[in-house]
Structure 1
Amino acid sequence: MMRKYSFGLMAVLCLGINPAFASKATNFQIKLASPTTVDRQTVLYTCQGNGDAAKELFSRLPQKRVAVQYINADAVSLAVLPIEGHTQVFSNVIAADGAKYAAAQYVWWNKGNDAFFSSKMDDKALVTCHAVSK
């Protein structure tokens, strides 16, 4: 038996990330096997990009703090963060270490209190981030 968990609360998640674009959120559902517990955690990061390529990539993130919403439910693991003012939903992919997520050309990879933001369009660009207290 499958139970529908509404990720219509993605609109709510977006509110926690950036109210400016939360009203544009679209509801969607992911069918999960029941019973399934949905775990949500928001982590705030400060990030920096060194070098010209990294600085250009860094400009796509919010400049002060990046709020990342991690959603885990059974085999579904997502990271939701704002890229260029729009909500991007990253899906978990295989990683040798830490948790790695991908959306479009972007990769978000977190290991402990550190995270790394990169683009498959430019292998030289790497933004480093560190978790901070709320």
Structure 2
Amino acid sequence: MGKIYSSVLLTAVAALAALPGATLAKTSNLSLPGIKLFSQQRVIYRCAGDVRLPVRYLNTDAGALAYLPAGGKRLLFVSVVAASGVKYVAGNYVWWSKGREGFLADKTQGEDAEPILRDCKQIENW
């Protein structure tokens, strides 16, 4: 998936999520007008410092999405091509998961900066 395509897809998903009637509530109901939801999984990770991170994975006809907190609010991340694991982006944030582990980074802190949340390990589904 190219950089331009990813940017367009992310913009489209964000615009759809902002429409009236679009919800990403904690209930099992999900409405993203114009996007078909195939499946979803809710996971809780325990990260370094005993931080709990709830992540909701969504498999849609628009691609794989992840809904999780970053920067003081919940954001909708879209998957992009990665060499290993699954890389999700939302603005300057990156959630990268592989198997039952992951980390959250803020790209405005520089490419070599430590992740915001590191050593995240899946502990349960919710």
TM-score scaled by length of structure 1: 0.63
Q: How many residues align?
A: 101
1:8 aligns with 2:22: yes
Unaligned residue ranges in structure 1 (runs of 5+): 1-5, 17-26, 50-62
Structure number with the higher strand fraction is 1
Conserved? CA contact 2:64–2:78, under 8 Å: yes
Percent identical pairs in the alignment equals 33
SS in 1 for 2:22: helix
Name the residue aligned to 1:125: 114
* CA deviation profile, 1:16-62 (whole Å, cap 9, x unmatched): 8xxxxxxxxxx973424xxx55211011001127xxxxxxxxxxxxx
The residue identity in structure 2 corresponding to 1:31 is: G
TM-score scaled by length of structure 2: 0.67
| Aligned residues: CA RMSD | 2.7
Q: Distance in 2 between matches of 1:77 and 1:131?
A: 18
CA, structure 1 residues 28+37, in 2 after alignment: closer, same or farther (shift >3 Å)? closer
Q: Distance in 1 between matches of 2:32 and 2:104?
A: 27
